[in-house]
A and B are shown apart, each in its own frame.
Chain A
Amino acid sequence: MTHRVPEGARDLSVAALARVEGEGAMRIRLRDGELEEVAFSIYEPPRFFEGLLAGRRMDEPVDITARICGICPIAYQISAARAIEAACGVTIDEGPIRELRRLIYCGEWIESHALHVYLLHAPDFLGYDSAIALAKDHQEVVEQGLALRKAGTELVRVIGGRASHPVNLRLGGFYRAPSPAELAGVRPLLEAAREQALATVRLVATFDFPELEIDHAFVSLKEEGRYPIDAGRLVASTGLDAPVAAFDEHIVEEHVERSTALHARLSGHDGTFMVGPLARYALAREDLSAVARSAADEVGLPAVVTNPYQSIVVRAVETLEAVEEALAIIDAYDEPDRPAVDVPARAGTGYGASEAPRGILTHRYTIDDDGIIVDARIVPPTAQNQLAVEGDLTSFIDDHRHLDDETLRWQLEQAIRNYDPCISCATHFLDLTVERE
């Protein structure tokens, strides 16, 4: 990993951040104790799919974009559907179809957060280099995470038709609406998940968190009385409050030389910004359910969390929120008369945004009168967080340059994991390059 270090310099790099070489990397150079360079760079798979969408029928992105990410297909499906519906003048902000969308989204949050908290982030705090090593010593911890995750998987399966590659979502809603009895069938798992999620909040709150204070603006969606998950307006800690249709006016992307990725800035704000759990929690804490808010209070989580390492606690609180919200939706569910509303094609541009587990995921589509996509744009959360990640790495090194390389590298990797970056979207294949035959 360490290579070609100039005399007097320390060169830390983590090339193995991603499943594919070159897709994500952190490069840090210290010379004579001074920080010379910090670069966190990723390719952004979603960008490469925009070209694939142009020229397709408007009902296709809901299926196609679901395949961009194996972890958050629902986020892609909901953002895509909402964007195309907006272009066609259709809004689904209330009623059973909206509730079902929110419910399946809760399932994805539970799955994704449980996976990240237990398999990726907890090992860092408990002193293990992987979930595999953690499982050898503390099988019960990993099992609790997997059990919690299962409630989410079951929700996604019951509503989405399949646990992986959900097939039941479409423009305007669903191909088939689940019956109240089918949803009630998930209740026992969710009730168990409530206890597991609460136990998770209590567990992760006991971790030791490396010291780091951030000063990023927070950006999230917002909807009065409901924690931001599947919809909302675009808000920020700077006072911004705008419809999602104004996304491009407020989140501005620029090219940076060293990276193929675009770097996002919050318009009118000089500093960096972040999306994701910390931002949502800071901007919508008052919209949490009583159960989730009291769990946060119980473990002493401040109203605004400024240490990104504590994102694991916020993720645990959000998991509990998703479980609570899912139970509430199931209890109030009325099967819709029709599982989808009509979405007649008309020329226009529409934006759709939702809160993927790792932050706002925005889609924009321009379609013509025949419902053919003329232009597509996808802005994933990790792209928006890139500068914030670099900022965190820089701050952390400033305060911790005395650490030896191995410890420093590990804590920096952990700092990147705070953002649950979607580096490996769409990549997973078996990599066997050291094998000799």
Chain B
Amino acid sequence: MFHKIVLPVDLTHADKLGKALGLAAELATRYGAEVCYVGVTANTPGAVARNPKDYSDRLAAFAAEQGHERGINTTSRTIVSHDPSVDTDRHLIEAVKDLGADLVVMATHLPNAGDYIWAGHGASVAAHVGASVFLVRD
């Protein structure tokens, strides 16, 4: 049913992804799909990595670790953004299309009043990609 699952990852808050990671792995095992972990980073040094190359290495290591732990095929993709606070949604949408994913599993916060002004990443992605989207509440 699914071949390629995209799972957007914020490496800074990877600890909050437990549910989504588990779910993606289960679906991947069930359908023999591959999981691609997608991370968006700024070109400036951040909390997780000192430069984009470093970020990309860490994300690849994260993907490898997940693949090993859960026995699934994993890949990773790093997107370097000029202004991640604003452009993350756009980058994720492009990545989902570009990777040819047919399912997006995505951790997202509970809806709140702020969503009327700034929709969460999950909502924006769901609104703009052709793939199925599974939003996982934390």
| A and B are interacting partners | no
Interface residues of chain A, those whose CB is within 8 Å of chain B, are: none
Interface residues of chain B, those whose CB is within 8 Å of chain A, are: none
